[in-house]
Every structure is written in C-alpha cells, then in structure tokens.
Structure 1
Amino acid sequence: MNESEDELEQQLRALFADERLGVEPTAGAGPAIVAGARRRRQRQRVMMASTGAVCALGIVAGGLTAFRLHTQNGTTQITASQLTASETPVLTPAPEPPSSVPTVAAPPPAAPPSAEMHASTELRPPPRHGASTPTDAPAKITSGSLLTADGLGGLKLGMTETQLADQGIKLTNAKHTANCTYYDVQGAGVPAATALVSPSSGVVLVKPDGAAHTPEGVGSGSSKDDVLASYPGTSVESGGLVAPVGGDGSYLFTLSDDGAVASVDLRSTNQDCAG
C-alpha cells in the first residue's frame, strides 16, 4: 500500500467515524471500498497506457510511410511499407550505380570473301607472256644515227651552203634538180647523209645513210603501229608515213613490204624543191 492509498483509507475512516452520517458502517466496509477504488485506478492506468501505445504506433506508421531510409553508400534501402510494429525491417540491395568507364564493343568479325569474288578471281585468265596489249609501249629502237626534229648532228634544217662550209661540213657529189641540189654530206660530228639544199630556204631535207632512229625510239625495224602510237598526228602518204614534229619539220617513215620502217628522214614543210 502506497502513501496515496493510506491517505484515502484514513479519509474514509474519518468519514465513517463522523457521527453526522447517522449510518453505521458494516464490518469490513473500509477495505472493500479501498479495494474498489484501487481497481478503478488500475483500469484507468491500463486505458491510458493502451491509448498512448495506439497513438505512438499511428505516429510511427505515418512517419515511415512518408519517407524511405537509405544507407549512406547507397548499397541498401529500407522501404517503409516493409516495416510494421511486430516485424524486423528487411534490407534489400539497391541497384549498383552505372560504371563511368564506357564499354568498348568488339569489332565484328571480317566477312568471308563472297562467292562473286572467288568466281571473278578464278575465272580471270592468267596473263600471257609476250602478248601485246593496248597499254604496251612501243619497242624502242636505238640502232643507227640519231635524227632529231631539227637535224642530224651539226647538219640542221635551214642552213645555207655558206653556213655548212663555216661549220666544216663538206658538200660533195652535187646532183641538181629543177630548183634545188642534192649533196653527199661529210664532216666532223655529222654522220654520213644526203642533204637537199634550196637556194632560198637552205637545207630542206636530211636523209641519213643506213639505219637511223628518232629520240622517241622509232626507226628502222619499227612497226607501223609503233609510228602511229608515238606520233598521234601521223598521216599516210604515197611515200610512207608523215609525222609532224613541231616547227617546220616532219619525219618521213618509209615502209618495207612487210610493213616495218625501212628508213627515216627529216624534211622541211616550207620548201620549193621537187621531190
């Protein structure tokens, strides 16, 4: 019995002992009243405790449903709906953050050669050795004297008889025509040749004795196709093939019966000589 119960019992005893009430309490009335008061207080305490517990649970449930607890490093999370008054929180792993390192895709495997490539490779005939093609360059001729677009050694187109003598070039065996004279030419630095000299135009024809070739490698033994390939402006005349070489000169390629070049000479396009 605590202090408050003692005070209550004393007050009740004093009340019952009061003569003004005019009622004589029965035996054992005091303890019965005290026990009843004690039970009433206990019921009030139980009700207050229950009400407080219900309120606390409501507050906790309302707060937990409003937010979600996350751990600091983001590896676990607690869902409010998973928490109850009688259950232990369940920790579920959070998704891992994406890696900052980009993923490099492996290159696709190389595609095997197609059937068309195999077919084109297998069906292509191998090149024939010695077979000529349109892209083949003409065979170069280097035998004999070199006849350039302006003359043969020191013998040049347009030179007069006086100029030839000054160069030490000898003119022999003169053969006169209607207007011009043929000479056999000899001298230092000049291969044996025949020259046709015009009184007004000087040397208008240079014909080497024996084999000769041009700087383009066309000469005695070349084919007609070689001449046409080397000199696109070549024309066909009764004496052979005439190929202009710029300025006042042109080559005359004489062909043999088999179509090959038999000889080559240089002549001036401006001349007044016959033949």
Structure 2
Amino acid sequence: MNESEDELEQRLRALFADERLGVEPTADAGPAIVAGARRRRQRQRVLMASTGAVCALGLVAGGLTVFRLHAQDNTAQIVASQPTVGDAPVLTPTPESPSSTPIAADPPPPAPPSEEIHTSTKARQPSRPGAPTHADPPAKVTTGSLLTADGLGGLKLGMTETQLADQGITLTNAKQTSNCTYYDVQGAGVPAATALVSPSSGVVVVKPDGAAHTPEGVGSGSSKDDVLASYPGTSVQSGGLVSPVGGDGSYVFTLSDDGAVASIDLRSANQDCAG
C-alpha cells in the first residue's frame, strides 16, 4: 500500500512527537527519513520492471521453441504420408500448423527413350489375328457329267464289251488303235462319252463328252492350283496333270492355254493300249 509523501511525513512527525519514544529527534531527521523511503520505492520499481522484462523474454523464447518443435513434428508427418509413386502430390497444411509450408515431392523421372520407342513401335504394328488364317478352299465345280474314280454312271473301268451290252450300253463308231478300240458310248444312265476298250482288260479309258467334274468339285474351268490342292499326289505329264485316285484309276486333267482345266478323263493303270 503506497502512501503519499505528505501523509508519510505527517505520520512520521506524529511518531517522533510521541513522548513514549523518549528520544528527541534531530531537526533534519524527518527529511532524511523521507528521502530514504523515496529511494527504497524507486529501487522496488526498477526491480519489478526488470523482473517483468525477464519473464516476458522467457515466455517468448519458450514459445518459439515449442513452435519450432511442433513445426518439425508436422513436417515429419507430412513427409511420411507422401506417396512413393505416381505424380507429385500437392500437400496442404494440417489444422495443427496452418502456417506451415506444404512440401512437394520430387517429380517422377522421365521414362527412358527405349520405352517410348517400344510404345510407338507397338502403336504402329497392325493387330495380330487371334488364330492363323488358312487359304480359301478351291471353288467347287458342279457343272457337266460326274466322273467318279471307277467310271461314268453305268460305264465302269474293267467292263468287257459283253458286260456293256448286258447293261444296255451300245458301242458305236469303233476306231481301232494298236490293240484297243475306241467307241462312242450311249445307253440308259450313261452320259455321252468315249471309251477305250482293251481285249484283255476291258474298259481302260473313260472320257465324258463336254464338261465334267469330279466328286471333289474339280472340273472344267478349275485352276491348276485347285487340282494340286484337291489331289496332293498330282504329277505333271505331257502338258496335263495326272492325279491318282485310289485303286487302279487316275484322273487326267488336260489344261488349256490359260492354265485352266479343259477336259477330264479316267484311266486305268492296267492296260496294254497305247497312250
């Protein structure tokens, strides 16, 4: 409790005037006491001001230390939570440290040139089919007479002239050649054709008149490739193609100038005829 100088002086004067003290103060005792009290109050004020300044400095230093530690902890949390792959994320401050600066991860390294070249090469490559493709099968020919591996209708390889007559097949316009005879053949169930008959082996050659085709769809107009594809054992002989068809028979395909099949005949290997 602070008192004014006038009140203090009055109380001191009253105290010194009290007879019970038994001491007679000197004439300058009052001013000396007042001056001493004034100096004491000034020292107290200086001490209190210094103490307050020291406390304020301590609080400021402590706050800075705590803020620095807290900022370091937040930075560690941000770095630990960064993804390790992909594009660099854009980080935002956490609510505990709104003033902290976001930390951006380093951008990913550029892809090596080899990958870019590989990617562009793959983009230029045409799409590969799921399964290998096969060549289209030969076009089937179904026009004309059907010549099978054993003959033409009722006209079969190996039949003798007597057997042909018994079947109602007539032989006309005979043409002798070496040991065999050519006939024009007519009869029920037999398309118009020419037959070469051997005295010992019977019919050895059957040649339809006009267009004909085989059961495999090879006939007049078929290409050489069609013949080779349909009959793998085909060989080239005397400007034509000879295709074995099992047993003693073989197809003989005569080719035109453009390489297409012009005619077909069926021949037996067991013959003593020329040609």
TM-score (norm 2): 0.54
The one-letter code sitting in structure 1 at the alignment partner of 2:237 is V
Looking at structure 2, the residues matched to 182 and 146 of structure 1 have their Cα atoms a distance apart, in angstroms, of: 21
- Per-residue Cα deviation, 1:204-230 (whole angstroms, up to 9, x for no partner): 210223x123244543xx5xxx65333
Cα 1:65–1:203 change in 2 (3 A) is same
Aligned partners of 2:258 and 2:94: how far apart in 1? 103
Amino acid at match of 1:235: V
Change (3 A) 1:97 1:8: farther
Q: State how far apart, in whole Å, the 2-side matches of 1:165 and 1:74 are.
A: 119
**Secondary structure of residue in 1 paired with 2:245:** coil
SS at match of 1:67: helix
Q: Does 1:76 align with 2:98?
A: yes
Percentage identity across paired residues of the two chains: 45
Distance in 2 between residues matched to 1:184 and 1:250, nearest whole Å: 21
Secondary structure of the corresponding residue to residue 63 of structure 1 = helix
- Over the aligned positions, Cα root-mean-square deviation in angstroms equals 4.8
Corresponding residue pairs, total: 210
- Contact 2:181-2:198 within 8 A present in 1 as well: yes
Describe the SS at the equivalent of 1:270. coil
Change (3 A) 1:95 1:12: farther
Task: Summarize deviations over 1:139-184 as a string: whole Å, max 9, x none.
Answer: 9876543334442223333456676567x34243466766655544
Deviates more, 1:227-236 or 1:174-183: 174-183
CA–CA distance in structure 2, aligned partners of residues 2 and 258 of structure 1: 143
- Aligned-partner Cα distance in 2 for 1:7–1:200: 178
Counterpart Cα distance in 1 of 2:11 and 2:138: 145
Structure 1 residues 229 and 45: alpha-carbon distance in aligned structure 2, compared to 1, 3 A threshold: same
What is aligned with 1:228? 224
**Structure 2 equivalent of residue 60 of structure 1:** 59
| Equivalent runs, 1:108-257 vs 2, <5 Å | 144-159=144-159, 168-173=167-172, 182-198=182-198, 201-209=201-209, 211-215=210-214, 216-219=217-220, 222=221, 227-232=223-228, 233-237=234-238, 240-247=239-246, 248-254=248-254
Correspondence for 2:132: none
CA distance in 1, matches of 2:257, 2:11: 163
Residues 222-262 of structure 1: CA deviation (Å, up to 9, x unaligned): 5xxx653333334132xx41321422333334568999866
Residues 141/192 of structure 1: CA separation in 2 closer, same or farther (3 Å cut): same
CA distance in 2: counterparts of 1:2 and 1:235, whole angstroms: 146
Gaps of 5+ in 1: 78-92, 99-134
Query: Paired residue for 1:112?
Result: none
Structure 1 window deviating more from structure 2 (44-53 vs 177-186): it is 177-186
> Gaps (5+ residues) in structure 2?
72-92, 106-134, 229-233
- Cα distance between partner residues in 1 of 2:160 and 2:240: 27
Q: d(CA) in 2 for partners of 1:50 and 1:74? A: 35
Q: The residue matched to 2:45 in structure 1 has which SS?
A: helix
1:5-29 Cα shifts (integer Å, max 9, x gaps): 587666655699635xxx7612xx2
Q: TM-score, normalised by structure 1?
A: 0.54
Aligned mates of 1:97, 1:55 — CA distance in 2 = 41
Q: Which residue of 2 aligns with 1:25?
A: 26
> Contact conserved, 1:12 with 1:30, CA < 8 A, in 2?
no
Equivalent pair of 2:155/2:190 in contact (CA under 8 Å): yes
- 2:22 corresponds to which letter in structure 1? D
